[in-house]
Structure 1
Amino acid sequence: MKCKYCGTKNERNATYCSQCGKKLEVVKKSKSKIIIISTITVIAIIIAAIFINKQLDTKQINDLLVQGDRYIEEKDYKKAEDTYLEIIEIDDKIVEPYLKLADVYTYQNDYDKAKEILEQGEEKVSDEDKDKLNDRHDEIDHYIDFSWVVEPDIDADDIYYLRSSSVENYLNTTKKQMLKNYAVIKKDDRYGLIDDDGNVLDDIDCIEVLANFNDIYIVETDDNYYDNNFNNSNFFEVDRSVTPIPFYEYLPSLSEIYYYNDELIPINNYGLDSGLTIESDLPYPVQQVNDLPEGDISAWQLEQDGKYAIFVNDKQLTDFIYEDAGSFCDGLIAVKKDGKWGYLNAEGKEVIPIEYDASWNQFEVYPRETINNFSDFAYSASEGFVTLLKDDKWQLNDTDGNIVIPAGIFDKILPVYNGKCWVEQDGKWGIIKVGEETNQEQERSSQDLSLDEICQLVINHYVKTTNSNDYVIFENECVKENNTYQLVVRYTGGNTANVMYSTVTVDLETGQVEDSVGDSWYLFE
């Protein structure tokens, strides 16, 4: 203790200064300092408690999010809903549970409830997170209603569409699915045909189903049919007769267009096809090659690994940057880049981002080397829709790129045909009708339809009015003049194949159809 008189330092407990002898005074601590220190201590304790509670809340929220996601995977939507609502009770200002609840409601086809929860969240979350909710709300505005045509109770290992084999001028136009009312059904390594009402044609008892070059189904039921040349292969032609026919009769010499030395080069089974005039008002894919075939054409084709570009007539729309490309259909053309698929429009502009997986595992490869000679590909657009696959989740978009059936509702979605599409749900297959109960095609103009769609609508008319499926229209017999199409309808069910049944005129402005038999109707009736 220091003496205030002489400044001498004394022992702490001394009463008098050892130097001057005067009494030492004890200095008392300030009460204000004690109060300040105490206050600081209390505040620190409160802050620590808040921090610890916040950490506990964050951990609880994260655990609940994981739990809710697990319930979604298990399709236990009631428990998922309760879990995300519990998170909102803990903290109603975080965005994730509102987005997750929107998923839960859309998976149950309750789009109104999904939009309601997003609107509730917009009143609570930050401005930055509010944009996420607004974007999701806008996305749901494009979702469409669907109804079951065939309930999902069909057992099958897979259902898929065949590659089109209807050729107008060259094979570049066949890289799309076949537009017919049958799909292929696979069960226990056997194959059959199933129509768009869920009816199986005969039995699922074939070792292969394929199509000839007029888009007619052919099935093979003989286990010992295959040889390398196909010369001993007998196939039963489903749409025309049940008479066995040698397969090689269905391999006409058709050309495919390649790009070599800055030129478009048509090549057929025999070599260069110098007599073919290259013209197409629709985009088509062309592969770039480094040499021309000498000898075995099939072997040369299998060796080609060049990139693809998109052409219209002889005009190049894109660079040679695509690993593969489909054929133009319903306003879009599929392209593959860096292992992913997307879709371009007629001008070569990207409409659907190139970020999706192959949606079609049964794309038949030419030339054929083995039975069921398939590769991975992407289904083409049809009737205003395109089916997409990403990370094992299937969704349906419209051809403007908007999601109309979100991922998570179905385990698989096939392309739309006649306003319906095959879907898989919980391991069973069924058929849904997309859009409103009224036919969605009625809202489309005849001028929006592809030639394939026009031909199919005409065939559908004859199927309904004659109660026969034995009609076909060949693309190379279709002539467009101004705003009309002239079509030739052939009957395939008689003793003589492909007898001309009627000629048809389609007015693209009005949708009116007139045929040489004297019948008149509208495409969408």
Structure 2
Amino acid sequence: MILYLMKKILLFIFLLSLSFSLNLKSQELIAFNQDTLWGYKDKADNIIIKPQYQYAKKFIKDYAVVIKNDSTGVINKNNEIIIPFKYNFIQYLENDKFLFGYRTEYFGEFNMGVIDKDLKIIIPANFYYIEKYKTFYKATKNVYEILKAIDSGDLRSVKSLYGLFGLDGKEIIPCKYDQLSFLNDNLIVLEKNNLQALFNYRGEPITDFIYMVFGDFHDGLAKARIGNKYGFINELGKVVIPVKYDYCNEYVNGYSIVTLNNKWLALNTKGKIIITPKDSYDDVKKALETIR
């Protein structure tokens, strides 16, 4: 009988502590300052985590970034340490992953990487900055040359290079390009030596580095510029409309108004001339309205 009662009591204590933990996890905690130290209260002004930190940021999900002994770490709402106090910079990303970093010799700059709640290093802290975009991490690495050492710090020439990682930390595109931008859900624009190329999300090149700029895709085609001439390519990187026009407007409802030798004309998505050359853009636009 005594053993049965003991089991019931232990079960009750376990369920009570579990309920308290779940309630604490779901409630909102607010950072507050008291005598130079920071802690957390609930909305009823009850102290949940007593003041003990140099600084405390607001909770995001179940995590808060706090500072102790001049180092940054992460706690949960039970005040349990998730990320130990050994870093100079931490920022919550999402899905239990954090941006972390070490201070460099230059004020306000860090070497950054990505770590998860289990302390697994996803991306080593070798980058100036890392930002998440959909299912990728875009990484920035700064390469600099010291031009002159002065009392207030080094005078530097800084060049930023960009690369791409998967959420698992696998390198997709090495950090060696002058620009990296996402054109759409399938393609990335990379730039080096002032020329651009298209790559897919697997890091494979779709075009060579011969283009000055790409436009957005409309009707399956994107404006592309080589030198001072324009044309259109498809999502496979194939030139569909020859790069020979002085200017091209993006496709709208299957037609593009382009200019060549100071004349304006309209093309369909196959490159066929639909409206013959006219003296002005407005003349072509009016003519298009009659066939739409």
Q: Same fold (TM over 0.5)?
A: no
Structure with greater strand percent? 2
* Larger relative contact order (Cα-Cα within 8 Å, sequence gap ≥ 6): 1
TM-score by length of structure 2 reads 0.39
Structure with greater helix percent? 1
TM-score by length of structure 1 reads 0.23
